[in-house]
Every structure is written in C-alpha cells, then in structure tokens.
Amino acid sequence: MTRKRLCLLLIATLIIVTGALVWMLRTPASPFDNAAASSSPDLIQRGEYVARLSDCVACHSTPENAPFSGGLTMATPVGNIYTTNITPDRTSGIGRYSLADFDRAVRQGVAQDGHRLYPAMPFPSYQKLSDEDIRALYAFMMHGVQPASRQNQPSDIPWPLNMRWPLALWRAAFASGEPWQPAANRDERWNRGAYLVEGPGHCGSCHTPRGLAFNEKALDASSPDYLAGALLDGWYAPSLRGDAGSGISRWSEDDVVTFLKSGRNAHAVVFGSMTDAFNNSTQFMRDDDLRAIAHYLKSLPPGSNDSGHAWRYVQQSSQGASRRPGEQTFIARCSSCHGADGRGQAPWIPPLAGATSMQVDASSAINIVLNGSARVVTNGVLDAYRMPPYRKQLSDQETAEVLNYIRSSWGNSGAQTEAKAVAEMRQHTDPASINPIVLQMR
C-alpha cells in the first residue's frame, strides 16, 4: 500500500507540474484576438499622444540610433538587458505583430514568439491601459513610426538566470491585473489622474519600493507603499505622497503642474531619470491631464516611508573662524549658485534647504555631485543652467563632508554620508550617463 500511494503521489505531482508548465507556456488570450486593426489619422494622432504619456521613446531609443529602434542599456542585479526595436520593421522590429500580439506584449509581457518580457518593460503598469489606448498606440507604432533595421541585442544575464519561463510565475504573482477601472466615489479629474499615474505614466516603476522578487510592492494607491519612494539604478526616486519631510506636502497642485510642464518649480528641478521623463514625456502632456495628475497625487496621504518629521527652515548661525567639516567646500563650490542660505535661485537653481534629496537616501545627492545633472530641454531649447560634475575636483571624503554639511543645515535632517558610499557610487557611475536623451518620435 505504501508503494501504491507513493506511485499515485508521483503521478499526481507529474500531472500538476505538466499542467503548470503548459499553463506557463501558453499564449494568453487578448480581447483583440481575431480583431481587425484600424489606422485613421485621428487614431494615429491619439496613439502618438499615448506614446508620449507612456514615455516609450526614452527607453526604446538611444541618441545615436533611430527613435524606437532599441539598444538602451538597462542594469539589473543579475546583468544588463537591452531595450528592443519596436519600430514597424518586419525583420528586426514588430512589423509582423498583429493588434493582439501587440496587446499581449504591452499589457501582459508576452512577445509574439511566446517568450516572457523582463519587467523592466513596465507591463505591470501598462496592463491598466484601456483597450482604446492600446488600439491607438498600435496604430501609431505601425503607421506613425519609421521602420528601422536594427537587430536586438541579447542580455548579459548568464544561464540559468536568463531563462524566461519563470517570468510567467512572476507575472501571475505580481502583475495579473486588469485594465484600470474608475473609482465610483471619486470625481472625473481624480480618476483621470489615477489612470495616467498608475497606467501609462508608470510612475510606480521608479517611485514605488521593490520587494525581494524585484516586484513593485504596490500598483495603486490602495497601499501606503505606492509611490512611497525607492532607490533605483543609483538614484532615489522620492515619495510622491503627502509625506511630512520627503514628499510633496509643501507643494500645491499648481507646483506639481509647473514641475511637470517646465521641469522646475520653486522647490525643485528635475534630475536623474526624471529628466528623461520630462524631456520626452511630461512637457508634451495636455494641461488638463497635468492638472488631473496633480489632483490625484495631492490626494495621497503620507506613505510607508514617511518620517513624520516636517521640515522647516532654520537660519544658520555664524561660526566665525571655526567651521564645520564641509562648510568651506560648500562656500567655495556651492554657495554662488545655491546661496549661502541654501535657498537657491528658484525656479532656475533649486534650493538645498528642504530638498527631498537632503532628507532621505543620499544616493541622488552623491550621484549629482559626482556626475552633475542632465540638461533640461524645454520645447527643444537646452537649459542654460546645469549642475557641473565634481568627480575630479572633490575626493570621496570631501564629497561626503560637503553633503553632510548640507544635509544637516537649514533644518535638513538627512543621515550622515560615509566616504565609502561616495567611492561605491564613483565606481558604478559615469558622467557620460547623464547626457540627456531628447528624441523626436517621428
């Protein structure tokens, strides 16, 4: 009886494993299966706007190659991956994709040949795109983008970590949602803002903390983790919630709109990955959509990373001949632009007093001191102001000291930075990576 039970258990296990493999390797259904695609001028124009909302061009392009032809390096903890060619080229791009194939790739993370996409492609957010926006985006990609022959580059991830089939399990666990649905108890503006932020804008991809499986801990505002701030690729994407010390609680809705429309406001200037998002996406959004985003974000309460410590300006007392470590470096290198009082010259040069990067994780502050900031490009015009790199001028210790001075002045309450952290950032970053990517989509 024991052997018989063991055999039955093995058979049952085999059936379950086989069923699971079949399920994982199946081609998922799409609402567009057997549906015909359309391509009217109005639909193509709408699709171009959806592409701007979704910031497709920034990730699927490099300055030296055609728009949407891929090749951008994206670092992961297990190796580099490279974005793919999504032009309508029929050999190396997506020219042979049907509308259903396109939908599966964008919203479900499954390519035409059945392989699973890495979640660097933000399909956990794009799954919320409406059917209408998918139709429009497909029309634009197929008829509004020039085909470009450029072969895709395989990832650097070694075997067996590069196997794709486990990503089906990953999606089932962390990204098996449906298209976005409006909240009945919210007004039209809030719902539009929620759709843009949670869906095409995929703001959570950078601003939401990640779990052990590199999954976003939340995909909407029902969780305090959503948009609560996260470290990603050498930059700390700050909280977009009403956190007392590190969110946007001191920003008005107009401040949010101004920031997204012009790349700057009285509190901050775009930097890091947000520069690409501004240069290629948010400045092209309609004013009503920007106001909807601001309305939604300002409705969010403090999140899971909230310190509960509200910032307020504190006037620095004169130290005379006795100066704190880093103070002399600040006076010599920083004060001419950011002001001896740390208040900056808004909206062109941001204040350091009260800056989120001076209250939370120091990664962004270290990165920008070492490598400088990318140029903000508004309506095709390069910004005249740019944070220069101090990689060669300041040692690791000097960089740590000047940041510690800033992060403990004028009411700032950031934790102390060690020279070791500066050394590590110096090793893994390069000023060349700060160059802006600004591309015409067609």
Binding-site sequence positions: 56, 59-60, 203, 206-207, 334, 337-338
Distance CA(413)–CA(409), nearest Å, equals: 8
Rounded-to-integer distance, Cα 135 and Cα 277, Å: 23
Residue tagged 């106001």 (tokens): 291
Residue with tokens 């403090």: 302
Asked if 204 and 219 touch (Cβ cutoff 8 Å), the reply is: yes
Rounded-to-integer distance, Cα 430 and Cα 117, Å: 28
CA 260 to CA 243: how far, in whole Å? 19
Show binding-site residues for heme c. Answer: 56, 59-60, 203, 206-207, 334, 337-338
Tokens of 89: 């080229």
Instruction: Evaluate whether 261 touches 287 at the Cβ level (below 8 Å).
Output: yes
